[in-house]
């Protein structure tokens, strides 16, 4: 069962505001949480890219938690290489412009895992652009 | 430079873990150590597709390590030799490629006819067979007498000749000087055909160093080594392969668009969207 906690929610037109979410992945290795993140302009601030970083919160988990972000024909993978520590994965910045970014979150083995991630749409200058999301699958 | 190979190893891969009676398409690919490296594909299913069946394997394309049914032996190319003299005749059959046999006929002095044919040979092998002939006219004590032929001198191996499928070659050999019998050695010099070793992917299960995701619509599934069945009907399925630890890995995968009865629907060759 997944839990989505909105710590700071969408669309605050303040430069530097991020969006945090957390969730759980079920026992099965196939478990995948799936969401869309939508980037759009916020006034004069263009949405040039998506900023995304994930963290595995389960120190007892033997599996690594990864996220894949795709937009158009581009795809990348990020992984938190150490579970439960203070460090997150590398930051992925996907320069896909406005529109829908597809995000899948999964792990490389069986066993439950908890994770959290930070994301926001931004301009090339790093200004926060309009960012919304919707969850498509939660397992 | 990444090696990309796209194959349809239908009959070979169908022998692996899947039980469906379908044909399977497959791909072989490698992933570099580029940070975040992800290979990204599109697979299109049509017809009466109910679901996409997918499995990921670690390892490249190399010699097979999985069991495959033993193929029926390849029939050889053969020659048959017949010696005749008037109403006397003797035959030696099935002189296989790379072997030799003798044929002997007790006909005393006079003209013998040596006939070579390919009856019974494997007609799927189109290359003409090659052979040579050596003969001896012998007396009753098996001592060499004298003889002659337009083919070659007595006791000497002839030059290499060729004989195509369904063709016949005839040679005249004349024995003299109290000959009791003619002995002819036929040497089939055709190269023996060896069975072709199939080249198929190594089918080791992923250890978790590689993961793959199949996505269509609102359905996304992840796999390490389990078979995925993503039930989203016709249309484009997205496939990603990546490594959580950025390992340089070769891998292969097999997939098939199946209908509700697990029978192959229309499966397109996969399309590479991104190759890292």
Evaluate whether residue B193 is within a structural domain. Answer: no
CATH 2.60.120.380 fits A28-137, yes or no: yes
In this structure, the answer to whether residues B112 and B214 fall within a common structural domain is no
Same domain, residue pair B164 and B211? no
Same domain, B164 and B97: yes
Bridge partners (DSSP) listed for residue B171: B114
Are B228 and A92 inside 8 Å of each other by CB?
no
Of A32, A73, A102, the CB nearest to B222: A32
CB of B33 closer than 8 Å to CB of B246: yes
pLDDT tens per residue across span B191-226: 876 544 444 444 455 567 899 999 999 999 999 988
Same domain, B166 and B237: no
The verdict on B143 and B167 lying in the same domain is: yes
B167 in any annotated domain: yes
Domain end (from B188, B206, B225): B188
Residue B161 and residue B204 share a domain = no
B238 and B257 in a common domain: yes
Instruction: Quote the number of domains for chain B.
Output: 2
Q: Of B132, B167, B188, at which residue does a domain stop? A: B188
ipTM: 0.85
For residues B116 and B65, membership in a common domain is answered with no
What CATH number does the domain containing B182 carry?
A: 2.60.40
Domain that holds residue B184: 78-188
Closest CA in chain B for residue A33: B220
Q: What is the structure's pLDDT at A55?
A: 96
**Predicted local distance difference test score (pLDDT) of residue B100:** 94
pLDDT value for A16: 52
Comparing C-alpha atoms, which of B203, B241, B235, B229 is closest to residue B4? B241
Predicted pLDDT at B35: 87
CATH of the domain at B256: 2.60.120.510
Residue B61, domain member (yes or no): yes
pLDDT tens-digit readout, A48-99: 999 999 999 988 888 999 999 999 999 999 999 999 899 999 999 999 999 9
Closest-CA distance of chain B to residue A46, Å: 26
Residue in chain B lying closest to A63 (CA): B208
- Smallest Cβ–Cβ distance between A30 and the set B226, B242, B243 belongs to B226
Mean pLDDT by 10 residues, chain B (276 residues): 38 35 66 90 94 86 39 69 93 90 95 92 82 95 93 92 90 94 94 56 60 96 92 96 89 91 88 93
> What per-residue confidence (pLDDT) applies to B193?
67
Average pLDDT, integer, range A7-27: 65
Q: For residue B9, tell me if it sits in a domain.
A: yes
What is the predicted pLDDT for the residue at B24?
59
Q: Which of A67, A72, A76 to mutate to test the interface with B (most CBs of B within 10 A)?
A: A76
Where do the domains of chain A lie?
A: 28-137
Name the domain boundary from B165, B188, B211. Answer: B188
């Amino acid at each position: 069962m997944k839990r989505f906690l909105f710590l700071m929610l969408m669309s605050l037109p303040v430069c530097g505001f991020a969006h945090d979410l957390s969730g759980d992945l079920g026992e099965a290795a196939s478990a995948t949480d799936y969401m869309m993140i939508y980037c759009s302009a916020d006034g004069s601030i263009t949405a040039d890219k998506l900023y995304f970083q994930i963290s595995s919160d389960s120190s007892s988990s033997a599996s690594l938690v990864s996220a894949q972000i795709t937009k158009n024909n581009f795809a990348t993978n990020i992984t938190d290489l150490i579970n439960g520590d203070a460090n997150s994965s590398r930051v992925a910045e996907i320069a896909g412009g406005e529109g829908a970014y597809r995000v899948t979150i999964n792990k490389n083995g069986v066993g439950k895992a908890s994770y959290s991630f930070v994301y926001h749409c931004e301009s090339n200058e790093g200004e926060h652009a309009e960012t919304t999301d919707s969850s498509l699958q939660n397992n | 430079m990444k090696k990309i190979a796209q194959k349809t190893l239908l009959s070979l891969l169908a022998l692996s873990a899947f039980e469906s009676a379908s044909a399977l398409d497959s791909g072989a690919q490698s992933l570099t150590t580029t940070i975040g490296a992800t290979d990204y594909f599109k697979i299109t299913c049509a017809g009466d597709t109910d679901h996409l069946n997918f499995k990921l394997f670690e390892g490249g394309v190399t010699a097979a390590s999985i069991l495959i049914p033993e193929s029926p032996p390849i029939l050889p190319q053969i020659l048959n030799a017949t010696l005749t003299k008037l109403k006397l005749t003797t035959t030696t059959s099935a002189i296989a490629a790379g072997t030799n046999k003798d044929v002997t006929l007790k006909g005393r002095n006079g003209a013998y006819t040596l006939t070579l044919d390919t009856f019974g040979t494997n007609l799927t092998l189109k290359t003409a067979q090659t052979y040579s002939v050596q003969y001896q006219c012998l007396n009753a004590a098996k001592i060499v007498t004298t003889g002659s032929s337009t083919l070659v001198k007595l006791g000497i191996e002839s030059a290499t000749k060729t004989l195509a499928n369904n063709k016949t070659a005839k040679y005249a050999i004349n024995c003299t000087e109290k000959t009791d019998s003619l002995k002819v050695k036929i040497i089939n010099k055709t190269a023996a055909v060896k069975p072709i070793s199939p080249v198929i992917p190594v089918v080791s299960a992923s250890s978790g160093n590689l993961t793959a995701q199949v996505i269509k619509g609102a359905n996304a599934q992840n796999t390490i080594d389990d078979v995925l069945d993503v039930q989203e009907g016709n249309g484009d399925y997205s496939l990603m392969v990546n490594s959580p630890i950025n390992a340089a890995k070769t891998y292969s995968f097999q997939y098939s668009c199946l209908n509700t009865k697990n029978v192959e629907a229309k499966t397109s060759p996969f399309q590479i969207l991104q190759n890292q």
